Structure 1
Amino acid sequence: MPDNLFDIMLTSFQNGSDLCCIKKDPRDTEKYHSCCINIMKIEEDNRKIWVLDPQSQDCNVWTYEEFINEYHRLDMCHKNLDNLSGLQGRNIGSSPWVSQTFCLELENLCDEFTIELNDTDDDQEGCTFVVELVQKIKPDDEDKLNCIKPWDALVDLELKVGDEEFATKYPQETHCFTMQPGTSDIRVTTDTEEHGSIYMRISSKRKYEVKRKE
């Protein structure tokens, strides 16, 4: 856990990101509850965190120290990609993000693309882009809470961009890359034939082109 976690939470919250916290499932320490508990308010002066429980609809107020003892996982949904922790403090320009979304075709357990980068960031020689993988998992119709249980149906994916490889751990993951202008390969693989829709979203502030390999 980073020492400046509260500052990251506060900055993200002030910039309009959605934050939610999750308790571990007491029956299985490797899984988490399907209910995300929303953070409604963060007070900077006294380091208080207001948390709304969607099941009880109770609003609990915790000190930061109480909060990190109560919850075991924190998710941040950044509506603005500039809030990504991997990009904070970097000058990659003020241009708007341009995104492309692909529904992955994994019938052969692999989908491959090329990305051509044509420009560089303001403060460095490389070009920064973001790759996001999203697994769309539908709620169980019999679930009275109508909650999505992502870890019960999570598909193992491997993302390779250039020489960097990542194994997915969560239903939605975002990775930041900075590469030299030119063409690089992007590959997503799985060992599971049955899965729901899986999407890949690529975003950059610089000119780029993504093509699916034939």
Structure 2
Amino acid sequence: MNLKEAFRFQNKLQSLMEEAQSILGDEANITRVQTTYLRKKVMKQFEDETTEEAPSTEYSGQITSVAEFLLYLLRERERLTAAVCRAKAGLDLPAGLDGEVSLNARRQDAARLLRRMAGLRSSEVVIPNGGTGYCFNNEGNQVSYRCDVKRVTTINFDRNRIRKMCAELSRKADAVSSALDAALVTTQVDYAAPFDVNDTFAEAFGAFTGEAD
């Protein structure tokens, strides 16, 4: 499988592990609760009655196998992680795959910021009745008044230089993105998946326990 498929299978293993842990973490699944009503003790003519709480999962009778399946998934995760690590080590990327992914995200963030800056324009706008103040009238009383406000916005940077920086950074980010995409589909990972990535928990567990059709 290639790196892209390996990452997808890593996510699948994680999802199955979380489902197994959810089953094992629910006390109703890993214990059996019997309740006996001791009626005979107080009423000789009655018999004691015992009830058992219904299990909350179809796997309640296979709990030990679910625990074994969890450890099996963990071992597969270890194998796959090691194989992915070896595959990444062979990539011709200055900062490695993870480093370049992180760096390129920062490049894209910076390019978006510069693009927004380059889109700003100097402007002048008059806001009718946008200002308030106080003055004294002819009678000597303090009164409020409103006035128009002229707001002038001027960019205080070199737009051409910002545009150039943005263009260069965007080109670099696009080139690295293409290299990363290519690496994901062309880099092979020495790992054979033990089941299909689209299998459900029941299907993967059934194959593990030998109960698959």
Higher strand share: 1
> Greater RCO between the two (CA within 8 Å, min separation 6)?
2
TM over 0.5: no
Q: Of the two, which has the highest radius of gyration? A: 2
TM-score by length of 2: 0.19
TM-score by length of 1: 0.18
